[in-house]
Amino acid sequence: MSALTAVLYGALAVYLGGWFLGQWMGNFSLLLFVLTLVTMLYWLAERLRFRPARLAAAAELEATHARRRDELARQGITQVDGDVAAARDKLLAQPWWLDWTAGLFPVILIVFLLRSFLFEPFKIPSGSMIPTLRVGDLILVNKYHYGIRLPVVNAKVLDNEPVRRGDVVVFRYPVDPRVDYIKRVVGLPGDTVAYAQQQLSVNGEPVATAAQGEFYDDDGLRYTPMFGEKLGEVEHRILVNPRQPSYFGPLPKHFAFSENCRYNAEGMSCTVPPGHYFVMGDNRDNSQDSRFWGFVPDDHLVGRAFFVWMNFGNLGRIGPFH
């Protein structure tokens, strides 16, 4: 078993090393599920076989020692050299390969359950959600807000709250589901979303905005006009330059339900199909979102983002957001 455990840890090291070096794309949910399953098997083996065997060996050692003392006592020998306590402790000690597998099972199980059904941490990698979220923000995502989903396969088994306009959601990128994205929900199933001349409209109604000065981008070293926007019941801030023309590339890529969208020199308009959502970044001029690659299927949703729990460069960022 020690050799098998060493092989398993070696395979884990190779997988993590290749993931870190960019040789392949990792799947943390699947990895955590496999680790939970493997450590559970070791934990069961420890409880049902290995630990009872160690206890039986220790009991046999103590019984043998007691019989020897009794035999020597019958011969009139009362001073017996040797102490079985050290030997007994050695027999009962858990070997390293069980300590690093069965011993870790409770911790890995708790992490797996918390991450799969309650809250999952994410790190903001880009500026597409500025000013709401900044690069380096460590956020929490509510995994059960929209319903309970099975881990790994992401199949919903229980509904909860519906998705609402204005929600900030984490989802699996439709172009490459191995990658997680974060954007704001703009359009629900059946909505017609238009973005023309830097103005967002939903179902023919322009979304109200109000100027809120300028935002200074520390990374880009420039100021960008900032506006307050209200989507549904959610009030938040966006960055958009009204003087910058809408641009979606020379020809938008084909994507599922692309026939629901129309593009022209002024902008675009899409009707959201059933079971899908239209999402956009709050940094409207610097966000790759549904305007470019299409709609987000409901089964791609991971959860609703709601709290910045750490930003090592700016502790003032900690707190809830809209």
In the chain, where are the structural domains located? 2-112, 163-306
Higher pLDDT, 143 or 25: 143
User: CATH number for the 163-306 domain, one of 1.10.1040.10, 3.40.50.1110, 2.10.109.10, 3.40.50.720?
Assistant: 2.10.109.10
Q: Any bridge partners for residue 205, and if so which?
A: 202
pTM of the model: 0.83
CA distances from 301 to 97, 145, 172, 173, 280 (A): 38, 11, 6, 9, 14
- Backbone dihedral region for residue 320 (phi beyond 0: left; psi -120 to 50: alpha; all else: beta): beta
Residue 155 binned pLDDT confidence (cut-offs 50, 70, 90): confident
Q: How high is the pLDDT of residue 297?
A: 96
Provide mean pLDDT across the span 141-157: 89
Q: Is 261 helix (H, G, I), strand (E, B) or coil?
A: strand
Which residues are known to be catalytic?
Answer: 128, 183
User: What's residue 280's pLDDT?
Assistant: 97
